[in-house]
Amino acid sequence: MTNAGISNGRPGRPIIELSGVTKVYGTGTAQMKALGGVDLSIYPGEFVAVMGPSGSGKSTCMNILGCLDTPTGGAYRFGGVEVNGLTRNQRALLRRHYLGFIFQGFNLLNRTSALENVELPLIYRGERARRRRQQAREALKIVGLTGWDHHTPGELSGGQQQRVAIARAIITRPVVLLADEPTGNLDSARSVEIMNLLTSFNRDQGITVVMVTHEPDMAKYAKRVVHFKDGLISVDHTQEEHA
């Protein structure tokens, strides 16, 4: 799959489309329906907060959007491309070239420096060492960690670790940034710092942000909030931008 195969999105055309998406785990009496037929369109440049109680289907939906899981039924289109019809390798290329991921637990390599953690996606792309280190330093600068290149995660605060994780997510210049509880392990002050970073990427670089959160204060930063309940979308509304 080449870049020409995916549109980066034009006004009025969704970058993400879910149509009647279902997800069922198990069989027989052990069967559990995580998603019951979800319809969702996300447009280029949106900042969407996904909310809902535990077991509502929001994390399953996020995993499908990130090509970390596949639907049981329905259709998922990314930039007009039918994701269900892609091979495993093609889905990996989609993740590598179009998606950035931020996790609650940071998911950093503990014995590896901040710089090396950030440049990891570029290693998978086959970038030359000199070029990827330059880009990694630039990404660390963007998130306010200039001078912390050689510190390991154990030498960084939780907020700093999440900044490293964000630098790693944006180094590939993703079309969509998927954030799963990005402030879940942080205190209030650090949470605000992280949300301001995500807002700036959305506002200044036009990156589409989809964020799972259980915190209403963090959801206020989004332009749109989608609530899940019992495997379906119960509420989908826009809101004023956070001041």
- As averages over each run of 10 residues, the pLDDT of the chain (243 residues) reads 43 89 90 95 96 94 94 96 93 92 89 94 89 95 94 94 94 94 91 94 95 94 96 92 61
pLDDT the model gives residue 243: 55
Q: What's the rounded Cα separation, in Å, for the pair 171 and 177?
A: 11
Note whether 98 and 174 are within 8 A (CB): yes
The predicted pLDDT at position 177 comes to 96
Q: Determine the Cα–Cα distance for residues 119 and 179; give it in Å rounded to an integer.
A: 19
* Distances, alpha carbon 190 to alpha carbons 68, 118, 134, 184, 219, in Å: 28, 20, 27, 10, 15
Q: How far apart are the C-alpha atoms of 48 and 40, rounded to whole Å?
A: 11
Q: What is the pLDDT of residue 241?
A: 65
Domains annotated on the chain, with CATH: 12-107+174-238 (3.40.50.300)
Report the run of H or E that residue 209 belongs to, with start and end.
strand 208-212
What is the value of pTM for the model shown? 0.88
Question: Using CA of residue 163, residue 169, residue 173, residue 177, what is the dihedral sign?
Answer: negative
CA–CA separation, 56 and 9 (whole Å): 29
DSSP 177-195: EEEESTTTTS-HHHHHHHH
- Give Cβ neighbours of residue 227 (< 8 Å, ≥ 6 apart): 51, 52, 233, 234, 235, 236
* pLDDT recorded at residue 8: 44
**Alpha helix (H) residue ranges in the chain:** 58-65, 88-98, 114-125, 129-142, 158-170, 188-205, 216-219
- pLDDT recorded at residue 11: 53
CB atoms within 10 A of CB 137: 18
pLDDT for 106 equals 87
Dihedral angle, C-alpha 80, 84, 85, 89, nearest 10 °: 100
Nearest to 61 by CA among 71, 73, 47, 75: 71
CA distance from start to end of the chain: 40
